């Protein structure tokens, strides 16, 4: 982490004031004055401002219920992003785990802990992702077997990994995947000659979307939820 970002997160200084404090010699790193706001610092460093030791800022872990018509990006000059749903201070430096299409809804996980985000999203960990989908047409009778066997998506020469498909009605299904290819759920049903009308994510790994969260709302993850992806 850059020193000026650390001062912003730990001491509440604006980036401008953080840089000035460093250049004015008010900041010491392990007892030595430093004048470089871009210097990299780590949790093992002791950093003081005007003689007071600053605590290392705790990482943030959030769950958000994504509404439609906003994109999974940290910033965009033309469209509303999921970060725009958060108060300005809460959204700073957050990364998004498990992106959703603009018209999809449901569970998103966000954090400024890059290692945790990697554990959530890395294909090596194969965390389950569960979606509720509404289809444009009644489901083909062979759909379950094809999902279990794996499907060749358009433009790809490797089957998808085995997935679980549960019928809830003629046009409503629950899909469980352990991978995250581009537009995967929509493309899998497209390969069956069908179309996804609505898509809602209910779960990532052992974390389920909190039913108390309205679309656009968010909350901090509990310690148990954070720990569900290991350390």
pLDDT computed for residue 231 by the predictor: 64
pLDDT computed for residue 93 by the predictor: 80
pLDDT computed for residue 199 by the predictor: 98
Q: Where do the DSSP E strands lie in the chain?
A: 27-29, 32-33, 47-49, 52-53, 61-66, 95-97, 105-111, 129-135, 164-167, 172-177, 196-204, 207-208, 218-220
pLDDT by residue (tens digit) across 177-199? 999 899 999 999 999 999 999 99
Closest residue by Cα to residue 91 from 100, 101, 106, 80: 80
For the chain, which ranges sit under pLDDT 70?
Answer: 231
Which residue numbers are catalytic? 101
pLDDT computed for residue 179 by the predictor: 93
Long-range contact set of residues 152-161: C-beta below 8 Å, sequence gap at least 24 = 152/191, 153/181, 153/184, 153/187, 153/188, 153/191, 154/187, 154/190, 154/191, 156/181, 160/184, 160/188
State the Cα–Cα distance between residues 199 and 216, nearest whole angstrom. 16
Task: Give phi and psi for 220, each to the nearest 5.
Answer: -75, 145
Residue 75, token pair as written in the block: 């910033």
């Amino acid at each position: 982490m850059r020193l000026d970002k650390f001062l912003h997160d730990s001491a509440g200084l604006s980036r401008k004031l953080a840089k000035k404090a460093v250049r004015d010699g008010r900041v010491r790193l392990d007892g030595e004055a430093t004048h470089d706001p871009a210097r990299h610092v780590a949790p093992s460093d002791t950093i003081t401002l005007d003689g007071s030791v600053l605590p290392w800022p705790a990482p943030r872990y959030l769950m958000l219920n994504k509404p439609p018509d906003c994109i999974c990006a940290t910033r965009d000059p033309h469209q509303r992003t999921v970060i725009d749903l958060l108060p300005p201070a809460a959204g700073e430096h957050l990364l998004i785990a498990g992106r959703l299409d603009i018209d999809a809804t449901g569970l998103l996980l966000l954090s400024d802990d890059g290692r945790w985000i990697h554990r959530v999203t890395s294909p090596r960990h194969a965390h389950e992702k569960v979606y509720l989908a509404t289809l444009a047409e009644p489901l083909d009778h062979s759909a379950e077997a094809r999902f279990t066997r794996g499907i060749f998506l358009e433009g790809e020469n490797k089957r998808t990994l085995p997935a679980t498909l549960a019928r809830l009605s003629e046009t409503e299904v629950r899909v469980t995947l352990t991978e995250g290819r581009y537009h995967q759920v929509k493309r899998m049903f497209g390969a069956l000659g069908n179309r996804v009308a609505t898509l809602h994510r209910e779960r990532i790994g052992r974390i389920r979307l909190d039913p108390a969260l309205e679309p656009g709302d968010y909350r901090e993850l509990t310690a148990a939820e954070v720990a569900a992806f290991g350390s």
